[in-house]
Amino acid sequence: MTTATTTSRTAVVTGAARGIGASIARRLAADGLAVAVADLEESACYSVVEEIQAAGGRALAVRVDVRDEDAVHDAIERIVSELGEPTVLVNNAGIIRDNLLFRMTVEEWDAVMDVHLRGSFLMARATQGFMTKAGWGRIVNLSSTSALGNRGQVNYSAAKAGLQGFTKTLALELGKFGVTANAIAPGFIETDMTAATAARIGLSFEEFKTAAAEEIPVGRVGVPEDVANAVSFFVSDRAGFVSGQVLYVAGGPKA
């Protein structure tokens, strides 16, 4: 059940055209928030927006390159004008450029750092003012179990570990303004990204999922809705005393 307070809130979800981001956008809309469905290509967001609107929610497709300071500024201005001042931010945009260390190029390193770290920084900086003014805000950053180390992902692992430190510092700086910051570290989730990893190592996606499930205590791989459910909690009023935390959504203990 939504409340008048919830229905007046606006969330921004980056990387929301598909996969985990799309599931988060749909869940937050179902929770009663207006949702800016943001991604690198605006047209890729249309189907998610249409689905939300068909279910009675409010949503807006927004193009944003999270690496670009001016693009972030323009996107937030449009969201404020057409949807409302954002007091919820979910930094989900991400890419992989997997390679072993000795083969990894500077371009592969920089691309991952720019999207995950620079992008999350620019988005958080652009939205925090609305949160502090409102005296209420929620920032959720998508980390990963790869933050604990993963072969072939030295760039991605470093970026996801960096997001955990970023999260804890935001919690320290913004807590006195009524703003919480938390991170979610998914394990194996069925997405295009994990399918790409399967292809990289020469396995079919079904083989890859079966092998992964055998190593997960709950006996299955995750789905995007598992992550969306955790985001829903962190964004809610119920989580007002939870900040600076990293929640591993991985089907078993990881750290």
Catalytic residues: 156
Phi, psi (deg, nearest 5) at residue 181: -135, 125
Long-range Cβ contacts of 238-242 (<8 Å, 24+ apart): 239/138, 239/180, 239/182, 240/180, 242/180, 242/182
DSSP per-residue codes, 112-127: HHIIIIIHHHHHHHHH
Under 8 Å between Cβ of 20 and 14 = no
- Phi/psi at 49 (5° precision): -60, -45
Closest to 183 (Cα-Cα) out of 86, 116, 252: 116
Task: Please say whether the beta carbons of 91 and 184 come within 8 A.
Answer: no
